């Protein structure tokens, strides 16, 4: 059992299980400081093997390109122009099948560890369109045979593109094979674009803001295509850096470093001001946060605009490689591991092997068109995060994204399994196949402790009393867990488990008033000091909305404070379907 035994706090389970929600959370939060999620050792081994399979799979697929040479000759062809194109397509396919971000135990997917294609090839699972009231033929929440066919089209067109030879426009560099015929990318562009209008989860899972956009660059001349690839990477780094210019990110750094299996426990305690009584971040994660933000601004700036392939260029590449290797070592929840491996290859390929190509070599202004989505969506998403996913807004793991908490009364949670079409059971039932009831309950609550450690989690805990009072008789689940079960994919995108998913679930389950409620907390706009919250009832609809101050989150501990009400502002109570004011707990 050593390999699969999780690290959990030692508590008197009978007494712990009878305590109020706030008191149950505290020992789990304190346990996170030194142990992180406490995943079994086998979980880290599993993710390491999966990363190895991603690298091996990409190398095998690319080496099958006609005329490129075998896997044993990788040292002679890894910098060929067609290699990066095929890696983009392979990684898109890998992600859209569900093998990348959002896979496995660290996303509350235990058995099967796979969502993705298991859901998206199955009719009658839930799909959520991004703009069902604006885009024709996208209404409804039921996956149809048309949706399945479009998804098969995405997979088939990606596989077909991976088999194509480098028979596109010839590259002027002597000895190079050339590039893909860009026309061959049109089916993949079309299938994923159309499917994305009917199901935003699949488009986001494919990392469309990066890989789908990159496919359009295949139509540029070779030099400009390479410059476009560099600009995409620059936008990702700068978008991530911009999202970290806030008060949330030091909390994220502390949480990630606590989850790093290589960090000693004494160092983990130093990440907080006075563990375990004061779990606000100390100067260490605050400094690391500032260094990380500066890194993502300055080093890519140098690589794109000033690198010349000399010693300083390779120092910058090595520094950024260590930066991403460190992110990998923390095994962040959501596990964007292969994504970071893609960044590592991009560093050596775009700025090392092809350091002779820079943005100053641009031959056509059309290359700059890629900046429209790369600048426009992040700008809009930072100013109005409600209308843009944090992924195309490039506001990555910085602690500032939309979140939700789901509150089930009585047997409401178990009724999800009876009424939703899925390919997996609820996470608690998946865990029950491996562990006893005590371990299942503690591991499930560990997700709530992870959420509580963030700034927005402190608001979650404060707002919980407005939704369910002392919590007696309620099961509290993070929205990520619900989305993973209902949609087959979850990756920190709160817009996948807001009122839209609630409405789709209500269509199928028909809960009565008070059986299922959710609290949705939108992320902080870059120019405001507040975050907007909404409380919804599955049957009654929107019950209450208001704002919370980020400053209030920064002064609180991660466990709920039962001595006072959490401060809220601009509160608006809505009217129920019966015409009466809705009373909360």
Instruction: Specify the pLDDT at position 578.
Output: 46
Q: Taking CA 88 as the corner, what is the angle to CA 85 and CA 92, rounded to the nearest 5 degrees?
A: 145
Percent of the chain with pLDDT over 70: 95
User: What Rg, from alpha-carbon coordinates, does the chain have?
Assistant: 24
Per-residue pLDDT for 169 more than 70?
no
Instruction: Specify the pLDDT at position 585.
Output: 41
Q: Got the DSSP string for 490-543?
A: -SS-GGGSSHHHHHHHHHHH-PPTTTEEEEEEPPPPTT-SEEEEEEEETTTEEE
Contact 215, 182 (CB under 8 A): no
Pick the closest to residue 383 from 548, 570, 523, 550 (CA basis): 523
Pick the closest to residue 568 from 470, 478, 462, 455 (CA basis): 462
Phi, psi of 503 (to 5 degrees): -65, -40
CA distance 205 to 1: 33
Instruction: Specify the pLDDT at position 398.
Output: 85
Q: Taking CA 551 as the corner, what is the angle to CA 286 and CA 383, rounded to the nearest 5 degrees?
A: 90
Q: For the chain, how far is it from start to end, CA to CA, in angstroms?
A: 43
Residue 474, beta-bridge partner list = 409
Instruction: Specify the pLDDT at position 168.
Output: 66
SS3 207: coil
Confidence of residue 61 (pLDDT cuts 50, 70, 90): very high
Q: What is the pLDDT of residues 211-265, one digit of tens each?
A: 999 999 999 999 999 999 999 999 999 999 998 999 999 999 999 899 888 889 9
Instruction: Specify the pLDDT at position 330.
Output: 84
Instruction: Specify the pLDDT at position 3.
Output: 59
Write down the domain spans for the chain.
42-219, 222-398, 403-573
The dihedral built from the CA positions of residue 288, 289, 294 and 299, taken in this order, carries a sign that is positive
Percent of the chain with pLDDT over 90: 53
CA distance 568 to 398: 24
The residues, any chain, with a CB within 8 Å of residue 433's CB and separated by 6 or more, are 110, 111
Instruction: Specify the pLDDT at position 171.
Output: 57
112 or 149: which leads in pLDDT: 149
Q: What is the pLDDT of residues 471-513, one digit of tens each?
A: 677 888 999 999 999 999 988 888 999 999 999 999 999 999 9
Mean pLDDT is lowest, of 94-108, 339-353, 355-369, 462-476, for 462-476
> Which run of H or of E encompasses 43?
helix 41-63
Confidence of residue 334 (pLDDT cuts 50, 70, 90): confident
Instruction: Specify the pLDDT at position 229.
Output: 95
Contact 515, 408 (CB under 8 A): yes
Q: What is the pLDDT of residues 130-166, one digit of tens each?
A: 999 999 999 999 999 999 999 999 999 999 999 998 8
Q: Please give the average per-residue pLDDT across 420-440, as a whole number.
A: 85
Tokens of 234: 């620059």
């Amino acid at each position: 059992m050593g390999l699969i035994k999780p690290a959990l706090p030692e508590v008197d389970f009978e007494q712990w299980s009878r305590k109020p929600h706030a008191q149950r959370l505290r020992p789990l939060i304190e346990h996170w400081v030194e142990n992180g999620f406490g995943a079994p050792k086998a979980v880290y081994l599993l993710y390491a093997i999966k990363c190895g399979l991603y690298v091996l799979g990409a190398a095998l697929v690319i080496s099958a390109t006609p005329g490129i040479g075998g896997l044993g000759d990788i040292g002679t062809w890894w910098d060929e122009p067609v290699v990066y194109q095929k890696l983009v397509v392979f990684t898109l396919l890998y992600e859209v099948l569900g093998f990348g971000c959002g896979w496995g135990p660290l996303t509350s997917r235990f058995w099967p560890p796979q969502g993705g294609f298991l859901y998206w090839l199955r009719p009658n699972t839930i799909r959520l369109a991004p703009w069902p009231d604006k885009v024709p033929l996208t209404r409804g929440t039921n996956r149809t045979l048309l949706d399945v066919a479009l998804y098969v089209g995405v997979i088939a067109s990606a596989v077909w593109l991976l088999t194509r030879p480098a028979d596109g426009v010839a590259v002027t560099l002597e000895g190079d094979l050339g590039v893909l015929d860009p026309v061959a990318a049109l089916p993949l562009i079309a299938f994923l674009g159309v499917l994305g209008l009917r199901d935003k989860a699949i488009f986001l899972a494919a990392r469309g803001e990066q890989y789908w956009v990159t496919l359009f660059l295949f139509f540029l001349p070779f030099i400009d295509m390479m410059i476009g690839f560099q600009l995409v990477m620059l936008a990702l780094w700068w978008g991530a850096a911009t999202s970290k210019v806030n008060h949330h990110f030091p909390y994220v750094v502390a949480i990630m470093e606590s989850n790093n299996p290589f960090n000693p426990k004494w160092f983990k305690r130093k990440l907080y001001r006075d563990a375990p009584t004061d779990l606000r971040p100390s100067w260490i994660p605050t400094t690391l946060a500032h260094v990380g933000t500066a890194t993502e601004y300055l080093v890519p700036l140098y690589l794109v605009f000033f690198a010349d392939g000399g010693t300083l260029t390779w120092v910058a590449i090595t520094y950024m490689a260590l930066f991403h290797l460190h992110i990998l070592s923390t095994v962040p929840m959501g596990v964007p591991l292969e994504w970071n491996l893609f960044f590592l290859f991009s560093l050596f390929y775009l700025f090392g092997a092809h350091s002779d190509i820079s943005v100053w070599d641009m031959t056509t202004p059309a290359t700059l068109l890629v900046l429209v989505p790369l600048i426009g969506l992040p700008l809009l998403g930072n100013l109005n995060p409600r209308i843009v996913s944090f992924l195309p807004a490039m506001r990555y793991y910085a602690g500032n994204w939309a979140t939700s908490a789901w509150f089930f009364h009585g047997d409401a949670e178990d009724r999800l399994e009876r009424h939703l079409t899925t390919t997996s059971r609820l996470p608690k039932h998946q865990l029950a196949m491996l562990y006893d009831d005590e371990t299942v309950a503690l591991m499930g609550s560990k997700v709530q402790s992870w959420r509580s450690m963030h700034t927005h989690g402190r608001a979650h805990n404060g707002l919980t009393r407005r939704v369910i009072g002392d919590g007696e008789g309620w099961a509290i689940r993070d929205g990520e867990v619900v989305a993973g079960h209902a949609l087959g994919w979850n990756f920190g995108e709160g817009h996948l488990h807001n009122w839209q998913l609630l409405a789709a679930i209500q269509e199928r389950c028909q809960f009565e008033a008070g059986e299922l409620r959710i609290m949705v907390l939108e992320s902080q706009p870059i120019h405001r000091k507040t975050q907007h919250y909404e409380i919804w009832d599955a049957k009654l609809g929107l019950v209450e909305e208001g704002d919370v101050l980020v400053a209030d989150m920064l002064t609180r501990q991660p466990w709920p404070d039962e001595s006072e009400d959490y401060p809220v502002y601009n509160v608006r109570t809505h009217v129920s379907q019966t015409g009466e004011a809705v009373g909360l707990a």
